[in-house]
Chains A and B, each alone.
Chain A
């Protein structure tokens, strides 16, 4: 069963966003997304300092059978990227909501996460896709 933690927000395109204590937002891909892609072999993250619009393609996750763009769920400036992924893309498979995070950004506006899906909304999206 795919995991959908209740304390974070989601985008329809299968990214998650988590508000951190310092006001920045951490972004990754959902458990469902990593499962659909299969074993990841390569991850490309955005450059630190890059300014992103909400919905802008900014990272690529690649498995042996698919390559998929990752879209920034919120607008902001990239402050940090997960350097571990360069050598261990499988972290996304094993821990999509933790060690498999992709990048962090400083959101352009406060409350940006409010526009995103809740866990319940996202679960409904997945069910609709499966139907």
Chain B
């Protein structure tokens, strides 16, 4: 990775320069557009040649870690290989050029892929219906909780507006409940990582709309008494929401539908390997049980005989509605479709197998090397937690220091400081696409860092040393907000 910075694109700009080959012919601004509605001065866009733009953004890309270049043992994020074929075949010109409001007669190929994707997602999750509309995990969560709320309201039960969330939950869970106009009630987790049963029993009641759970949980362990949890919540009249962040762990082994969940979201950018793109797009398809079928977000793809068509308001009058202007992240869905077709039945079951094998191997080797597992009595799912509490106490070396030092060794940091209830935690998820050699190299780096922690900690405290920048001043960033570049002449 180059240890240098790249100028801002605006610093390359020269008046009068441009990529003329990309411009259409100059046309007059139509006379009917009055001057009062016209722009007086040009926007701050750079004036650069095509090569300057290409070189600039290529250089920027080289300042990034990515799956194609680095191992990302990033817990809860499932950073697996994004097969190139998925990108290539979603980018066929017919798919790219297809207008979202184009007729179904000119969309049977695309719609067939979407219909089959819905069917495959139903099969892997054990749910009765799937809507591909939500555009990210949190958007899927929103759809799920909105459906739970719509279900209760349709039955005339307006009192149910409380969503139960274990304290280890992703931050999106409580944020989603709030966005849906619900109240959040957190319940504790026991020392072995399972939900506190007694607390759950006390928490449920006629105000319970539902519970949001991740299984395996964010602690990297399988919630063993899930059927009993489902029993308690259902008996109290609530519904169960499955956060699909960790679906990779159980693919082909066990299905949320069989555990008793009423609604789930799937992160296609995790389990089904669509790209993370430096922060998105994601895709948060939702699956539902029988009783939530009428409430699915639209559009959904249906089939009449051999013809595929969109199902909208008329087909699903009780739908929670539209979550995007058109059809969610359609191109992401095509990538997930290609991935699932390439893996097939056997390949999908192997995902759960090898994601779990890799995680348990890393856990075994790291604990053998002297790191502390947060839940030593438990099997790892596809991820697990190491706590650096001891290193923090004995050597004043934090999880953050270890994470930053790993960057120097060429590994992306694991997820740190999540879940919040484990102090100094490193949540590690290797995914199934990493080889044993890659895992061994990561273990070697962790062992080396542990040695550094026990010796001269300066190296660790000041890490990273080999990247384009060292640790950044977040406090300054927040106190002296600099969120957009301005030409020197206009700076105040």
Chain A–chain B contact at Cβ < 8 A: yes
Closest CB of chain B to A101's CB: distance in Å?
Answer: 20
Nearest residue, chain A, Cβ from B474: A64
- In whole angstroms, what is the CA distance A119 to B479 when docked? 32
A89 in the interface, Cβ–Cβ < 8 Å? yes
Secondary structure at the A interface, as helix, strand, loop or mixed, is: loop
Contact with B along A19-50 (1 / 0, CB 8 A): 00000000000000000000101100000000
- A42 contacts which chain B residues (CB < 8 A)? 478
The CA of A63 and the CA of B477, in the complex, are separated in Å by: 11
Grouping DSSP codes into helix (H, G, I), strand (E, B) and loop, the B interface class, with mixed when no group exceeds half, is: helix
CB closest chain-A residue, reference B480: A41
Residues of A within 8 A of B479 (CB): 41, 89-90
Q: Which residues of chain A from 84 to 102 have any CB-CB distance to chain B below 8 Å in the complex?
A: 89-90
Residue B29, interface by CB 8 Å: no
Chain B residues in 8 Å Cβ range of A63: 475
Residues of A with C-beta under 8 A to B474: 64
Q: Which residues of B contact A64 (CB under 8 A)?
A: 474-475, 477-478
Q: Which residue of B lies closest to A62 (CB)?
A: B478
Residues of B within 8 A of A41 (CB): 475, 478-479
| Residues of B with C-beta under 8 A to A39 | 475
Interface string of B456-492 (1 = CB under 8 A from A): 0000000000000000001101110000000000000
Residues of chain B lying within 8 A (CB to CB) of residue A90 = 479
- Smallest distance from the beta carbon of A4 to chain B beta carbons, Å? 24
> Most B CB atoms within 10 A — which of A42, A64, A90?
A64
Distance in Å from the Cβ of A11 to the closest Cβ of chain B? 21
A77 to B287, CA, bound (A): 50
Nearest Cβ distance between residue B171 and chain A, in whole angstroms? 12
What is the distance, in angstroms, from A69's C-beta to the closest C-beta of chain B? 14
Residues of A within 8 A of B478 (CB): 41-42, 64
B270-306 vs A, CB cutoff 8 Å, 1 = contact: the mask equals: 0000000000000000000000000000000000000
- With both beta carbons as reference points, the residue of chain A lying nearest to B481 in the complex is identified as A41
Interface string of B333-354 (1 = CB under 8 A from A): 0000000000000000000000
Contacts of B477 in A (CB 8 A): 64
Closest Cβ of chain B: how far from A88's Cβ, in Å?
Answer: 9
Q: Mark A41-72, 1 if CB is under 8 A from B, else 0.
A: 11000000000000000000001100000000
Closest to A38 in B: B475
Bound Cα distance A27, B19 (Å) = 60
Q: Report the Cα distance A122→B429, complex, angstroms.
A: 41
CB-CB under 8 A from A89, the residues of chain B are 479
Instruction: List the B residue with the shortest CB-CB distance to A87.
Output: B479
Smallest CB gap from B475: residue in A: A39
Residue among A39, A42, A90 having the largest count of chain B Cβ atoms under 10 Å: A39
State the Cβ distance, B184 to closest chain A Cβ, in Å.
14
Contacts of B475 in A (CB 8 A): 39, 41, 63-64
B residues neighboring A (CB under 8 Å): 474-475, 477-479
Given contacts A39-B475, A41-B475, A64-B474, 5 further A-B contacts (CB under 8 A): A41-B478, A42-B478, A64-B477, A64-B478, A89-B479
Interface residues of A (CB under 8 A from B): 39, 41-42, 63-64, 89-90
Closest 6 CB pairs of A and B: A41-B478, A64-B474, A39-B475, A41-B479, A64-B478, A64-B475
* 9 A-B pairs whose Cβ atoms sit less than 8 Å apart in the complex: A39-B475, A41-B479, A42-B478, A63-B475, A64-B474, A64-B477, A64-B478, A89-B479, A90-B479
